[in-house]
Structure 1
């Protein structure tokens, strides 16, 4: 057992106030590196800053400063000849990495970081910092800025793929024929389930602009069984599903908005059951990351800034209250390896 002095000397010291305040430099630098494709250029071969500047058509001096800045954080490693190679811990910055987070980094360090200009207003009032910074809500902003919305779509797909793999391993899909993903974005989550279960067909519900772009990009395995359908998921959700899915949606909205969405899902499930009395009762799978520890504070603060007024991170008890208010029954609770919790529900 080490002595107290041994333990204190091996414990990393927290950054000082000026260092912490300057940490945004690294976030923005990482987003620029992602946009320039520096991870792809250095993943398998070390290159000089001059070579990378020529390949990315950037200013050699400025790119060298960017690379050295990110090397301080371990994003790039520098060999004895001054060449840069992507660090092992940052392989997911590569767009083709199986767990790529390239677009997540761009979204977090650009649009979301800009929204944190409204943090003071959120802390003072509890209202959305995004609206304070941009004068509109997140989704209204995205609809008016197609390039930012495309980055958002790709980022959500990157976050969805590992959750789909974790959920697909769960029993309960064999008896289902149709899965309906409520607020499913570009369809990456649903596509992952269809790839794992070839008998399954899916319907992805989202805003018209999201569905139009996703349908244009469709073409991978499972896409022949995937339909995109524009819908106001707070008003009406189509009947006919065996499984209804809500993933990473409820924590983006206030209690009242979440209640409207779940009520619409319950109505769709009840309509499905009434139309075919002999059919197995539809199920709703709510897949959400819960907020249950003090260490979840940064995520909860993030939701308050980015999402609509009244949004809050939900723990299991709060999520259950929301489900019960929507007149749904919780049939079971399960934790996934992805860190998400699954509530299986029925009317």
Structure 2
């Protein structure tokens, strides 16, 4: 083989490798949909009991055996499942959170991301052209309006559970990192399925929690919480319907606002923070607020910021300076700033002048 031929083959090989990078990224949506289907069917839970063949899994899930085999093979490529010499599949350790009974389950989050949110990204071009919500371009209404529709009740329940799943590990971190000995009542504003406040209540038996959110969320919340957390925790968490832009419940020694502000514009964020400040003022000077937000400061953070822009009506994401200005505009003062390994920045706030 001549030098020129070898060089030509090297270039062809590098070109082919680039081709594979492109095709792998372009086809990644197939794998996320496959993961969501596996999550819906509860395959992770089935094969945790004991390894199963594709035929056995198909029989347990009411699926076509040959297609089930292909699904499992697809997900084996990403090491979701592994296969033994007898053709039996089991769940790999790093994908254990696909199990519904996992303490930090991400099952519903996978379904929400690969289905509703992925559908919304069909509106990415509209977001790029106009800056508006891609979700609204696809579905005709905002995300929260769509979730309120009766025909979307199943997706709304998945959304609530997904938000709770995202909150559980953050709650565990916060419960260990901060002192809650002087706190009796925690009010989680926009708390969704109460994943955050329930985690704090579970870690600290003296605490009581209030989850303030849309009426429909509060209707679904108690039953879902009891199923996940049991009677001891659910008995110490109440749900209170609230329009967080206008008024939130008073009586909280500590208020929480996690992953809410980045869904909205600066001005809308000020409205939310102002309603919390007013509740704190009604409660008393000792009341504090913790704002937990993942900041947009790196290229990697831009992925999340783009998601907010497409899926949420006003979402943009904020820097630390943005949030400090927003908090100040609402009549609050930042007294400390901390960091969680979950990539959340924690702003502890008190009423200005208190």
**When the two structures are superposed, what TM-score results if normalisation uses the length of structure 1?**
0.91
User: Residues 125-164 of structure 1 correspond to what in structure 2 (within 5 A)?
Assistant: 125-144=130-149, 145-164=152-171
Shift of 1:232: 0.4
Count the aligned residue pairs: 330
Flag as ranges the 4+ runs of structure 1 deviating above 4 A: 12-15
Task: Check conservation: 2:186, 2:208, Cα contact below 8 A.
Answer: yes
Q: 1:208 matched to which residue of 2?
A: 215
Distance between the aligned counterparts of 2:21 and 2:183, measured in 1?
A: 54
Deviations 1:311-336 (A, max 9, x none): 21111111111111112100000001
Q: 1:109 matched to which residue of 2?
A: 114
Task: Check conservation: 1:101, 1:155, Cα contact below 8 A.
Answer: yes
Shift of 1:218: 4.2
Distance between the aligned counterparts of 1:91 and 1:151, measured in 2?
A: 19
3-state secondary structure, aligned to 2:331: coil
Distance between the aligned counterparts of 2:238 and 2:83, measured in 1?
A: 47
Distance between the aligned counterparts of 2:55 and 2:38, measured in 1?
A: 15
Matched, 1:18 2:29: no
Q: Which among 255, 259, 263 is matched to residue 270 of structure 2?
A: 259
Shift of 1:213: 0.8
3-state secondary structure, aligned to 1:169: helix
Deviations 1:219-250 (A, max 9, x none): 32322221111010100112221111101111
Q: Which segments of 5 or more consecutive residues in structure 2 lack a partner in the other structure?
A: 1-13
Q: Which among 298, 303, 307 is matched to residue 303 of structure 2?
A: 298
Q: Which among 314, 337, 341 is matched to residue 341 of structure 2?
A: 337
Q: Which segments of 5 or more consecutive residues in structure 1 lack a partner in the other structure?
A: 1-8, 274-279
Shift of 1:15: 4.6
User: Residues 296-335 of structure 1 correspond to what in structure 2 (within 5 A)?
Assistant: 296-309=301-314, 311-335=315-339
Distance 1:304 1:56, change over 3 A: same
3-state secondary structure, aligned to 1:181: strand
Distance between the aligned counterparts of 2:176 and 2:94, measured in 1?
A: 27
Deviations 1:295-325 (A, max 9, x none): 212111111111113x211111111111111
3-state secondary structure, aligned to 1:284: strand
Distance 1:116 1:160, change over 3 A: same
Distance between the aligned counterparts of 1:83 and 1:177, measured in 2?
A: 51
**When the two structures are superposed, what TM-score results if normalisation uses the length of structure 2?**
0.90
RMSD over aligned Cα atoms? 1.6
